[in-house]
Structure 1
Amino acid sequence: MNNDTPKIPFTMAILPIILMVGAMLVTIVIFEGSPHIPLVFGTMTAALVAWMHGYKWQHIEDSIYSGIKLALPAVVIILLVGVAIGAWIGGGVVASMIYYGLQILSPSLFLVSITLICAVVSIAIGSSWSTMGTIGVAGMGIGISMGIPAPMVAGAVISGAYFGDKMSPLSDTTNLAAGLTGTDLFEHIKHMLYTTVPGLLIALTVYWYLGQSLSAGDAEFEQISTTMAILQDNFVISPWLLLIPVFVIFLVTRKVPALPALFAGILLGFLSQIFIQGGSVAEAVKALQNGFSIETGNDMVDGLFNRGGLESMMYTVSMTIVAMTLGGILENTGMLKSIVEKIISSSKSAKSLIPTTISSCFLTNASCSEQYISVVVPARMFASTYQEKGLHSKNLSRALEDGGTLTSVFIPWNTCGVFILATLGVGAVEYAPYAILNFMVPMISIIFALTGFSIVKLENTNDETHSHSEIRDGVDPQRQQTNI
């Protein structure tokens, strides 16, 4: 945007969001529908507001396309994860992971264990999505087989995956937050330890407490034994199949991009279905396209394994594209900037600036439906304000991740929320109370800001930070990687 671009006032800029959220509540709560049409309604309203304030239709249309373009890396990942799930279920990879997991893990410690496992894997590969799409899928199967409620398992998987994603130097959002604010990457990660480690410890404590009521009784042991027997009857179970996810994780840790690593995992799962499970080529191809299909006579096992495939992700892809049409208009017509500037103007002190930043990130997640935008836009908007208040840039970079990266999972129409629904099979409203790390860390960050704990001030204007212009213009949101 330049100085000649029409400026949309706050009251009109916020109108599409208010109407969209209202339509969303009516559609989902009363009509029990999906979020797609309310998002389309929001896009139409935003386009009308922009047109009424002097934006030409071509600019509005280009804004829609730019929003969709920003989501394309996520769309490709979503599609490949769907194909990978179909390949790994058909190839017996998921069945083997669940089988051995049921032997090793106990119900009372399962939530703690799966959280730590997901955290370690996510730190290693820098990707919450890849972790949830592989380890998370198996974790859901193990937990449900033990009689643990699916939302509870999903919350533990999400907490672990996002802890690792947030703290990994390989993570896109971690590098993005550091780069946009001109903060050294490892200084940024060290500063996040203050809020993220206590969040993880609280989550683990709650999961341990919940686990004490999940100790397996005779009924649960019988269910676990039945599940293991069904898996043995319908799949070739082998520890060698566990090398497939290990190999994919190894590739990513060796800095192989996410797409080739997923392709490798898909190919190995496809070949396993043919040469290890004894399926035909036609069946293996069908599993990639439509997902794996099985009838064991056990509803729980059938529910776990009748899934995956390219087609299973179409709902997620369509919602992602529709959501980004709204996000593109809000971002490229200055409406989001107008909203954030209004929020900034209400922040009078350094103490209130970090809570304001976190709130802005959450609002951006809700309105633009993409966690990258929730980091990019507030970073640009708040950079100079942090300098004016004498706050070090790593305070901003931490707030961006605490408020942007972590809260994206709570928005059902955000790309992260729809991905989790498609992958783990649990909706945001259901798993939200159990994604403890994701809501505790923003709360801890706000408490620390209000008390001044771990808040670092600038000693002078040149202290380890770039100029305002460098921070403001440093990163183009279109330059995102695909390691989600």
Structure 2
Amino acid sequence: MKKEISFPVALLPLSCMIAAMAVTVILLEQSPHMPLVFGTMVAAMVAWRYGYRWSEIEQMMYQGIRLALPALVIIMLIGLTIGSWIGGGIVATMIFYGLKIMSPSLFLVSITVTCMIVSLAIGSSWSTMGTIGVAGLGIGLSMGIPAPMIAGAIISGSYFGDKMSPLSDTTNLAAGLTGTHLFVHIRHMLYTTVPGILIALVVYGFMGMRFGGREMNGTHIEHTIQVLQDHFVISPYLLLVPLLVIVLAARKVPAIPALMVGIALGFLSQIVIQGDSAASAVAALQSGYVIDTGTEMVDNLFNHGGLESMMYTVSLAMVAMTFGGILEHSGMLQVMVNQILKLAKSAKGVVTSTVISCFATNTTCSDQYISIVIPSRMYARVYRDHRLHSKNLSRALEDGGTLTSVFVPWNTCGVFIIGTLGVHPFDYAPYAILNFVVPMISILYAVYGVTIQKLTKEEMLELEQEEKASL
């Protein structure tokens, strides 16, 4: 017989996981896989002790993994995309022309805006970071700009588009789970996201000034351009490949087939345009592209990609989701959030609690999708009881869930960025300005009642009628 899990017991798996994570990642400097496995074992033992059969616990883990499967497919396709685009000379071409037209002083602003436009068009921060972001990192490094600073700008721009695009999965998820019309949800997010990105662009503009007068950059850039010309066929026609992927996504072609088209064209470009063998092109897809130019920065950038490069991310995501699956489906996560809800006695408390809960879910369950799904289930009735419009909830879910996922090293988003851009979340965190400013703006709006919309009597009556009709 199942027994109710108390709050201290519900905290036990999380506490054990966090303690193990601190020792393993910080002291031992190892990957976060084993702490999550340990946390999963503790969560399973707690669930078993409180009446759940092992077969039920297994189903909890499987349900968690199933939720991550769409993300895992995208992760693997991004690995193939990076390998084929590097091998096909597409990334080299983007870097080549980027170095020609960008100046160091304006680079951080330029790469942020570029990522904003691309992610708005394709609705995916991951696809943007894995393609345009990789190229932008190479350009920025060639200019002598620190990698964490570049990564922060890329992340800010990519997540602006991901959050605001009607093609984004998280945007549709937050709107759908709260029953908010998609474009009502997007318009309501403008109040927090636009000020956030403007603050980021101003800060990036000031940051970029320190790189404008570096005499060494010109020589360094010219050397990088020459290395690219020596080892790749550079052609503006290769830019049609990423452009086509953007167009397909803008025409509402799903992300997976759009990326597959990009992979196929990159594969053919490596054979036809770069003159490599079919075996080399297949190897680039499987294990990544390999090159030795004698220039460390170029080698570090281009020896990258491939399906195998994403297996670390895939394995971590699967382990994290087994942990999250047990916490959610055994009710332990609900018990923890119920304690938070006791403090939510007003509208400002409800919204603030939602933002904090989303970040806590990102930390504990290691996936941005769960940080939207679970709080949306938990807070829907609370918002209704406070007569708050559902768009307040949908915005808080994205402000606190979608954006903060990048700051957790063991979250699927944090791990993806480590694997794609090669920068640790603790290093780029101060520069991912949009991602930490927007949650702060969201909480300030809640405290002062700015843009927090109440339900009208007519809307309340309509909701009550819908509830009765569904019974």
Same fold at TM > 0.5: yes
TM-score of the two chains, using structure 1 as the length reference: 0.95
Aligned residue for 1:318?
A: 315
Q: What is the match of residue 281 of structure 2?
A: 284
Aligned equivalent of 1:482:
none
Q: Pick one of 135, 138, 145 that aligns with 1:138.
A: 135
Select 2:46's aligned residue among 41, 45, 49.
Answer: 49
Whether the aligned pair in 2 keeps the contact of 1:402 and 1:441 (CA below 8 Å) is: yes
Match for 1:90 among 79, 87, 94? 87
For the structure 1 residues 302 and 275, does the alpha-carbon distance in structure 2 shift closer, same or farther, using more than 3 Å as the test?
A: same
What corresponds to 2:389 in structure 1? 392
Q: CA 1:233 to 1:64, structure 2 compared with 1: closer, same or farther past 3 Å?
A: same
Distance 1:56 1:467 in 2: 38
Q: Could you tell me which amino acid in structure 2 is paired with residue 374 of structure 1?
A: S
Matching of residue 74 in structure 1 with residue 80 in structure 2: no
Deviation at residue 438 of structure 1 after TM alignment: 0.3
SS in 2 for 1:358: helix
Q: Does 1:304 align with 2:301?
A: yes
Give the whole-Å Cα distance in 1 for the aligned partners of 2:449 and 2:72. Answer: 40
For residues 242 and 458 of structure 1, what CA distance do their matches in structure 2 show? 48
Residue of structure 2 aligned with 1:196, choices 174, 193, 197: 193
Equivalent residue of 1:14, what SS?
A: helix
Give, as a single letter, the amino acid of the residue that structure 2 aligns with 1:345. K
Counterpart position of 2:260: 263
Encode CA deviations 1:187-207: one digit per residue, 9 max, x unaligned.
111111111001001100110
Structure 2 unmatched ranges of 5 or more: none
Q: Judging changes above 3 Å, is the alpha-carbon distance between structure 1 residues 468 and 162 closer, same or farther for their aligned structure 2 residues?
A: farther
Q: Mark the CA change 1:468 to 1:400 in structure 2 (over 3 Å): closer, same or farther.
A: farther
Q: 1:339 pairs with 336, 340, 348, which one?
A: 336
d(CA) in 2 for partners of 1:257, 1:19: 40
Q: Aligned to 1:246, which of 234, 243, 247?
A: 243
Q: What residue in structure 2 maps to residue 477 of structure 1?
A: none
Q: Counterpart of 1:433?
A: 430
> Among residues 260, 269, 272, which one is paired with 2:269 in the alignment?
272
Letter in 2 for 1:160: G
Shift of 1:218: 2.0
* Amino acid in structure 1 at the alignment position of 2:353: T
Separation (CA, whole Å) in 1 of partners of 2:264 and 2:206: 41
Q: Which amino acid aligns with 2:27?
A: I
TM norm structure 2: 0.97
Deviation at 1:217, TM superposition (A): 2.1
Shift of residue 109, structure 1, vs aligned partner: 0.6
CA distance in 2, matches of 1:325, 1:208: 42
1:411 pairs, out of 391, 408, 411, with 408
- Deviation, 1:31, is 0.6
Counterpart of 1:424 (choices 421, 425, 431) is 421
- Tell me the equivalent position of 2:13: 16
Q: Structure 1 residues 247 and 63 mapped into 2: Cα distance closer, same or farther (>3 Å)?
A: same
Shift of 1:367: 0.7
CA–CA distance in structure 1, aligned partners of residues 194 and 354 of structure 2: 21
User: How far apart in 1 are the matches of 2:312 and 2:11?
Assistant: 27
> How far apart are residue 462 of structure 1 and its match?
2.6
**Higher alpha-carbon deviation: 191-200 or 5-14:** 5-14
- Match of 2:345, SS state, is coil
**1-structure distance, mates of 2:255, 2:454:** 37
1:104 aligned to 101, 124, 130, which one?
Answer: 101
Deviation at 1:328, TM superposition (A): 0.7
Alignment equivalent of 1:152, drawn from 142, 149, 152: 149
- Contact 1:146 1:216 (8 Å CA) reproduced: no
Alignment counterpart, residue 28 of structure 2, candidates 14, 31, 39: 31
Decide whether the 8 Å contact of 1:123 with 1:164 is kept in 2. yes
**Aligned partners of 1:167 and 1:192 also within 8 Å:** yes
Change (3 A) 1:146 1:345: same
Structure 2 CA distance for partners of 1:467 and 1:413, relative to 1, 3 Å: farther
Contact 2:387 2:460 in 1 (8 A): no
1:65 corresponds to 2:62: yes
Change (3 A) 1:177 1:245: same
1:465 & 1:405 partners in 2: Cα distance? 30
Query: Equivalents in 1 of 2:461, 2:429: separation in Å?
Result: 37
Does the CA contact (< 8 Å) of 2:122 and 2:255 recur in 1?
Answer: no
Show structure 1 runs of 4+ deviating over 6 A.
Answer: 468-471
What's 1:460 paired with? 457
Partner Cα separation in structure 2 for residue 6 and residue 88 of structure 1: 54
The percentage of aligned residue pairs carrying the same residue is 64
Counterpart CA distance in 2 for 1:262 and 1:26 is 38
- 1:463 Cα deviation from its structure 2 partner: 4.6
Q: SS at 1:134's partner residue?
A: helix
2:429 counterpart SS class: helix
Counterpart residue type for residue 229 of structure 1 = Q
CA distance in 2, matches of 1:7, 1:159: 42
Task: Please report the RMSD computed on the Cα atoms of aligned residues, expressed in angstroms.
Answer: 1.6
Structure 1 residue 147, shift from structure 2 partner: 0.8
Q: 1: CA distance between counterparts of 2:463 and 2:355? A: 22
Displacement of 1:216: 4.5
| Post-superposition offset of 1:433 | 0.8
Check whether the contact 2:2–2:50 (CA below 8 A) recurs between aligned residues. Answer: no
1:177 aligns with 2:174: yes
